[in-house]
Amino acid sequence: MKYKPLGKTGLYVSELTLGTMTFANEDSASGQTLGATGQELATRMVDLALEAGINIFDTANMYSDGVSEIMLGKALGARRKDAIIATKVYFSGTTGPNDLGTSRLAIMREVEGSLKRLGTDWIDLYQVHSFDPTTPLEETLRALDDLVRQGKVRYVGLSNFAAWQIAKADGLARRMGTERFCSVQAYYSLVGRELEREIIPAAMDLGLGTLIWSPLAGGFLSGKYTREGEAAGRRASFDFPPVDKERGYDVVDTLREIAAAKGASVPQIALAWLLHKPGVTSVIVGARREEQLVDNLGAADIALGNEEMAQLDAVSALAPEYPHFLPPMQRGESLYGRLSGDQ
């Protein structure tokens, strides 16, 4: 397992993060949709993660209405001091007028709930789960800064922000002298490369680390989904994130070829591709079953060569988009190759 600094902080995180969205009770709504581990399997997964060298665990206040945080806290137990806990704030399981978002009121209320559920005195990485269009960023930043000064939170991050929102938040924090966000959590996969257009460049330019969620595109890159048919799985009841199926099947075909040649699984190759991409700090892996997690952990040992990366890059390439197609054209390249007549 390799470790990288989280953005410009002195905090080193493992290149794989254990995601705990499936830490839930079987009779819960999320458990029925995403699968549920129950406490015993959740503890087993934390054991396996720690044994593999993972030191960061990602959860959220809204995962299974807080049950995920409870199960993670119990699973870590006395090992909490050796773990980096990342949780989130924005969503809420209740529907009051001040329950949703990142106002000072909501942040101060939700952090206390997360601390209690996790059974800890501090949160290592407190992430804003979504951009709040109704609360001034200045209010959110000051509230988060207060939590850092109080010792309840060590670092702050953001998730699911557009690039301009990331840049605005960073600029405001610099101007105000508050704690800056150190990380971006975002969706990225071989069938979802949109963040390469703006978000990854913004994160790299500002010195922010990245935590990648749904690296297997909600199971689409598990190898179970092909043109020949789709096995029963999570996407049967929760078809998310959106995937261009025909393009996605081409990606899966290429993954299967490379996996067969390397004696690896399709998910391992899909995860390894991300681990080789610039700007990626840590990839979040989660599972419903122990064998899934064990397989995912094996991705850290997969080395992909330049030719294999080029194959995967080509089959999953984004369509040219303004203004990003202008520099290649100015260099004498066409949108899909060399300009005609240019040898």
Q: What is the pLDDT of residues 256-273, one digit of tens each?
A: 999 999 999 999 999 999
Q: Which of 63, 155, 187, 188 is catalytic?
A: 63
* pLDDT of 343 above 60: no
- Which residues, in sequence order, are CB contacts of 271 under 8 Å at separation 6+? 16, 215, 216, 283, 285, 296, 299, 302
Q: What is the pLDDT of residues 273-332, one digit of tens each?
A: 999 999 999 999 999 999 999 999 999 999 999 999 999 999 999 988 899 888 888 888
Q: What is the pLDDT of residues 142-201, one digit of tens each?
A: 999 999 999 999 999 999 999 999 999 999 999 999 999 999 999 999 999 999 999 999
Q: What is the pLDDT of residues 6-42, one digit of tens each?
A: 999 999 999 999 999 999 997 766 554 567 899 999 9
Q: For domain 3-340, is the CATH number 3.20.20.100?
A: yes
> Residues 15, 207, 322, 162: is their CA dihedral positive or negative?
positive
Which run of H or E residues covers position 138? helix 137-150
pTM across the whole model: 0.93
In this predicted structure, what is the pLDDT of residue 332? 81
Please provide the distance, in angstroms rounded to a whole number, between the alpha carbons at the two ends of the chain. 45
Indicate if 63 belongs to the active site.
yes
**Residue 236: pLDDT band with limits 50, 70, 90:** low
In this predicted structure, what is the pLDDT of residue 227? 83
CA dihedral 140, 144, 146, 151 (to 10 degrees): 170
Q: What is the pLDDT of residues 74-89, one digit of tens each?
A: 999 999 999 999 999 9
- Locate 292 and state its tokens: 């899934």
Which run of H or E residues covers position 18? strand 16-19
